[in-house]
């Protein structure tokens, strides 16, 4: 497919699926997951789906069942869309592989097969805040991310290579696990300089195990000013 035809097809596909925030990422400098034949992917499509802002605003003191349900609902939406997009790309003769919205495949390092945030920042979808979550202009960090790897030639970026958190430290101060280091993000910064992932994981398991076996918290995202702007401007952007 010609570049213009690919761009038009993707735009229409995303519109039909009501995916309003997405972009292409050039990942040729990164080690992506492999396809069935052991080949890696040069590109990825990053999808961002917003959470209900009223639910997000309600967890500033801790997660609740409404948040856990919304988290699961949006993850299902992303996984369904990612699988459908990967299948549509494959039907056009290109390689593709969807990445689950939330799948911890490395229990030791507490991570998945590839960081959704890396694809999202390279696609220009957003930047990483001090809370180690992606922040977008339209929806703040009140989103979930999906990624579809491909070798289809797509328009990419431009990548976002700086953060726009300024001197704000609300997420750092609100974290009950004291897991956030308070450093500003830039491309290539080790996750450990932003987040003590084990302290975060342990706190969630000890205090919020009833919500997806300690996989949910969300306090740091709930207090982010970029999210509160969404609540004021658009009470329900979902």
State the DSSP H helix or E strand holding residue 229, giving kind and residue range, or none if neither: helix 225-233
Got the DSSP string for 160-199? P-S---TT--HHHHH-TT--B--PPP-TT--GGGTB-HHH
pLDDT of the residue at 50? 97
**Which tokens go with 217?**
């918290």
Render pLDDT for 172-204 as a digit per residue (tens, 0 to 9): 999 999 999 999 999 999 999 999 999 999 999
> Smallest Cα–Cα separation from 97: which of 43, 24, 20, 157?
43
Confidence of residue 234 (pLDDT cuts 50, 70, 90): low
User: What does the domain layout of the chain look like in residue ranges?
Assistant: 3-233
- Rounded to 5 degrees, φ, ψ at 110 are 55, 65
Render pLDDT for 123-157 as a digit per residue (tens, 0 to 9): 999 999 999 999 999 999 999 999 999 999 999 99
Render pLDDT for 108-123 as a digit per residue (tens, 0 to 9): 888 999 999 999 999 9
pLDDT of the residue at 105? 86
């Amino acid at each position: 497919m010609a570049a213009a035809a690919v761009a038009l097809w993707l735009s229409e596909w995303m519109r039909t699926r009501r995916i309003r925030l997405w972009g292409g990422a050039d990942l040729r400098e990164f080690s992506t997951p492999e396809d069935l034949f052991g080949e890696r992917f040069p590109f990825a499509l990053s999808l961002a789906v917003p959470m209900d802002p009223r639910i997000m605003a309600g967890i500033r003191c801790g997660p609740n069942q409404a948040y856990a349900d919304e988290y699961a609902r949006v993850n299902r939406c992303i996984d369904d869309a990612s699988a459908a997009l990967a299948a549509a790309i494959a039907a056009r003769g290109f390689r593709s592989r969807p990445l689950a919205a939330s799948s911890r495949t490395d229990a030791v390092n507490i991570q998945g097969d590839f960081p959704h945030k890396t694809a999202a920042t390279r696609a220009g979808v957003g930047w990483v805040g001090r809370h180690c979550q992606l922040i977008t202009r339209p929806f703040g960090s009140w989103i979930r991310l999906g990624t579809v790897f491909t070798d289809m030639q797509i328009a990419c970026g431009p990548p976002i290579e700086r953060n726009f958190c300024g001197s704000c430290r609300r997420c750092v101060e609100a974290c009950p696990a004291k897991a956030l280091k308070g450093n500003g993000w830039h491309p290539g910064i080790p996750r450990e300089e932003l987040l003590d992932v084990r302290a975060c994981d342990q706190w969630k398991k000890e205090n919020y195990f009833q919500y997806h076996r300690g996989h949910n918290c969300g306090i740091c995202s709930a207090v982010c000013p970029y999210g509160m702007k969404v609540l004021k401007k658009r009470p329900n952007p979902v």
